[in-house]
Amino acid sequence: MGIYEELQARGLIAQVTDEERIKELVNNGKATFYIGFDPTADSLHVGHFMALCLMKRLQEAGNKPIALIGGGTGYIGDPSGRTDMRSMMTPEQIQHNCDCFKEQMSRFIDFSDGKALMVNNADWLLDLNYIDVLREVGPHFSVNRMLTAECYKQRMEKGLSFLEFNYMIMQAYDFYELFQNYGCNLEFGGDDQWSNMLAGTELIRRKLGKDASAMTITLLLNSEGKKMGKTQSGAVWLDPNKTSPFDFYQYWRNVGDADVLKCIRMLTFLPLEEIDKMDTWEGAQLNTAKEILAYELTKLVHGEEEAKKAQESARALFSQGNADNMPTTELEEADFQDGKIDILAVLVKSGQASSRSDARRAVTQGGVSVDGEKVTDITTTYAPADFDGEGKIVKKGKKNFRRVVAK
């Protein structure tokens, strides 16, 4: 099985421009491919995970990755998947974020001896002359066609700024630049980037008369169709100072039963034969699968030692958390106001706090966690569906555990 077939079997490939050509390139180690990362924060997060794992897989198959840091496009901001305009960052913020990205990427990608490159599109985008771009690039873009792109359609109702309208052109120019100067023949990206990627292959064809290819990666969605990688307190980061290895482990340990096997297939490096055997797992076996997923991904991001520590801590928590011996609180319909219950009410109902003021004190002092994730916002709320199945493990202090379920 070639790497292309493995990517297919893992459910990672969404759309391709030319399947036979891409298959020939990646299966024979002939691809020099790039994935872009806009430095909108000082850490990569779970949303970048698919791309990083893909780069690692393809590099191990003999292909050469280029990690393109969007130091230039970061000045504009990608409108894809957004209903509002991104805040503008200073050059200093962008550079700092770029430096942080490289350090984190090195866990996935081998940059030694020219095996991979990291380039910054600020090197060419910031020196472009506006009139030259209009004359050299502008004629190759149809505004009518651009406005049919999904990333722009979502924004048209609220208003799309001319600044963001240029993002597609800048991304297309990146591929054009990388094709000419770095021998890059393939672009990868999330499925929501398809229009921007096609713009790049089209610009190369029109300007140079040559073929370049693009392939999108399946977006990591849960069974409800929502993007994974978010929690009550925000994004799940790869930087241990922003999301601890334990919290990172717990995020994956708590994925839904319907999502765990898909995540193992798409994100881990376990052999497919081993994963295929798990397809029949159910009940308690799915908890074992969640442990495997959490351990493998924590090891990948934070190293084996941190993964072991996180697993031991989680097991210590959940050893007291077996349904048989953990005190359980049932929430009734009347406990929910307008379909929500806040963390203070949960603590009072479960008997872990004597009053809302006692609960507020525990939360603000950092002594409360839900499913291993610390809760520090007293306004945090939950819906009845959050307590379905095995419910949630609420911990106050070091040893006060309750399983909270919906009746």
Between CA 196 and CA 291 the distance in angstroms is 37
Q: Is 171 annotated as a binding residue?
A: yes
Whether 34 has a binding-site annotation, put simply, is yes
372: alpha, beta or left? (left if phi > 0; alpha if psi -120 to 50): left
Binding residue per annotation — 95?
no
- Contact call for residues 71 and 94 (beta carbons, < 8 A): yes
Among 215, 188, 296, residue whose Cα is nearest residue 252? 296
What distance lies between CA 340 and its chain's CA centroid?
27
Tokens 């945090």 belong to which residue?
Answer: 380
Our CA angle for 209, 212, 218, nearest 5°, is 150
Rg (CA), the chain: 23
182 annotated ligand binder? no
Encode burial over 352-386: b for 16+ CB neighbours within 10 A, e otherwise. bbeeeeebeebbeeebbbbbbbbbeebebbbebeb
Contact 344, 359 (CB under 8 A): yes
Q: Whats the size of the chain, residue-wise?
A: 407
Which parts are annotated binding residues for ATP?
A: 230
Which parts are annotated binding residues for L-tyrosine?
A: 34, 167, 171
Which parts are annotated binding residues?
A: 34, 167, 171, 230
